[in-house]
Amino acid sequence: MKKMELLSVLCLVALTACGTPDDNRDTSLKEALKSKFWIGTALNVGHIFQRDPRADLLIKHQFSAIVAENCMKSMYLQPHPGEFFFDEADRFVEYGEKNNMWITGHTLIWHSQAPAWFFVDETGADVSREVLIERMRSHIHTVVGRYKGRIKGWDVVNEAIMEDGSWRKSKFYEIIGEDFIPLAFRFAHEADPEAELYYNDYNEWHAGKRATVTRLVRDMKAAGLRVDGVGMQGHIGMDYPSIEEYQAAIDDYAAAGVKVMVTELDMSALPRPQQGMDGANITDTVAFRAAMNPYTAGLPQDVSDRWNKRMGEVFKLFLDNSDKISRVTLWGVTDGGSWLNNFPMPGRTDYALPFDRNYEAKPVVNDIIKMAKTK
């Protein structure tokens, strides 16, 4: 047997042994959606280092875009002043390039998952406005500069505005004031003039947040800064937001003159631990209660049907707006790896993504593919 033949037989054997990662091998989300928008997924470190062959096959088969779930956040990239750690981020970018994927950097300036040292001096007191601006500049220049021309778009600022439209009282806001946002965009543009730059947040359909974020985008554009898009995270629920609210928000951001992106889509199938607990601020958590974890043995058919129906409606909305939406990215690859198993309550079994714990496509995947072909 010739070397090449032997190789293909071996590949086939390996694939069969692993099982098929989904039931859409002939077609895929990426194929079906290619003229609509990028379809992305968030990679954890295991995915980046290809430790899970089934996940690896699924990612390459289904997705045209990637973002790093954690390894490009500032606490990982710059754990100590001036000491950068790029091993994982480098591999992430190589992975995307090898597979011809649109690569997004997440995220430069965020109140969460930032190293504690960033905001304080040696005595533990808050640094001055000048020092914090310089730290922002140096972090952004180093990180964006390293991947210049390779990372195509950056979540420059994450989660700076509250649902009521007020400013989050983060250290960036308290020490620098409102202009930390335009400054961050300016620094990112200096480091890579070609890169797209985004403002990213959750619950961006709330009227107050919508108003402030659109104003922010318009103000920055009027000041001559580069702003390419608003990233709507999309950690949605089975009963929120309504399709109408979602549509209105998409319209508002598009009217502000930027692309709209759905950057972190998932939908919990579990009960909400508390009324109103529908945000995605990662420190807003509650203790485990078994009553809030009802589906450990599998999702009942009726809940699963409702989940698939609603996710289909959400994708119909995205397809209806594909002239405004440039990317839809799922926050994770399969249900087993979703952060929602541990947020806002640790230790639950959730069913938040279109691919299940066995790497199988849920019915909605075929529905999306069919819709994309007819629209």
Residues with active-site annotation: 159, 264
| Residue 129 and residue 176 in contact, taking contact as beta carbons nearer than 8 Å | yes
Identity of the residue, 106 or 310, whose beta carbon is nearer to ligand XIL in the bound complex: 106
| Residue 178 and residue 216 in contact, taking contact as beta carbons nearer than 8 Å | no
Q: Does 268 bind ligand XIL (CB under 6 A)?
A: no
CB of 261 to ligand XIL, least distance (A): 12
Q: Does 41 bind ligand XIL (CB under 6 A)?
A: no
Q: Does 261 bind ligand XIL (CB under 6 A)?
A: no
Tell me the backbone φ, ψ of residue 161, rounded to 5 degrees.
-120, 140
CB of 105 to ligand XIL, least distance (A): 12
In 3D space, the residue among 220, 213, 197, 280 whose CA is nearest the CA of residue 253 turns out to be 213
Which of 20, 27, 70, 138 is in the footprint of ligand XIL by CB under 6 A? 70
Tell me the backbone φ, ψ of residue 253, rounded to 5 degrees.
-65, -40
CB of 268 to ligand XIL, least distance (A): 13
Residue burial 30-41, b: 16+ Cβ < 10 Å; e: rest: bbbbeebbbbbb
In 3D space, the residue among 369, 263, 353 whose CA is nearest the CA of residue 304 turns out to be 353
Q: Does 280 bind ligand XIL (CB under 6 A)?
A: yes
CA distance 168 to 154: 21
Q: Does 282 bind ligand XIL (CB under 6 A)?
A: yes
Q: What pairing do the DSSP bridges indicate for beta strands 229-232 and 235-236?
A: unpaired
Binding to ligand XIL (CB under 6 A) within 152-171 occurs at: 158
Identity of the residue, 233 or 268, whose beta carbon is nearer to ligand XIL in the bound complex: 233
173: helix, coil or strand? helix
Q: Does 334 bind ligand XIL (CB under 6 A)?
A: no
Identity of the residue, 21 or 105, whose beta carbon is nearer to ligand XIL in the bound complex: 105
Identity of the residue, 138 or 281, whose beta carbon is nearer to ligand XIL in the bound complex: 281
Q: Does 339 bind ligand XIL (CB under 6 A)?
A: yes
CB of 210 to ligand XIL, least distance (A): 18
Identity of the residue, 24 or 107, whose beta carbon is nearer to ligand XIL in the bound complex: 107
Residues belonging to the chain: 375
CA distance 204 to 14: 44
> For residue 177, what are the CA distances in angstroms to 72, 141, 186?
25, 21, 16
Binding to ligand XIL (CB under 6 A) within 190-249 occurs at: 233
Retrieve residue 271's tokens: 């009960």
Residue burial 189-202, b: 16+ Cβ < 10 Å; e: rest: bebbeebbbbbbbb
Q: Does 104 bind ligand XIL (CB under 6 A)?
A: no
Q: Does 69 bind ligand XIL (CB under 6 A)?
A: yes
Tell me the backbone φ, ψ of residue 175, rounded to 5 degrees.
-85, -40
Identity of the residue, 28 or 338, whose beta carbon is nearer to ligand XIL in the bound complex: 338
CB of 47 to ligand XIL, least distance (A): 12
CB of 104 to ligand XIL, least distance (A): 11
Contacts with ligand XIL by CB under 6 A lie at 69-70, 158, 233, 264, 280, 282, 339
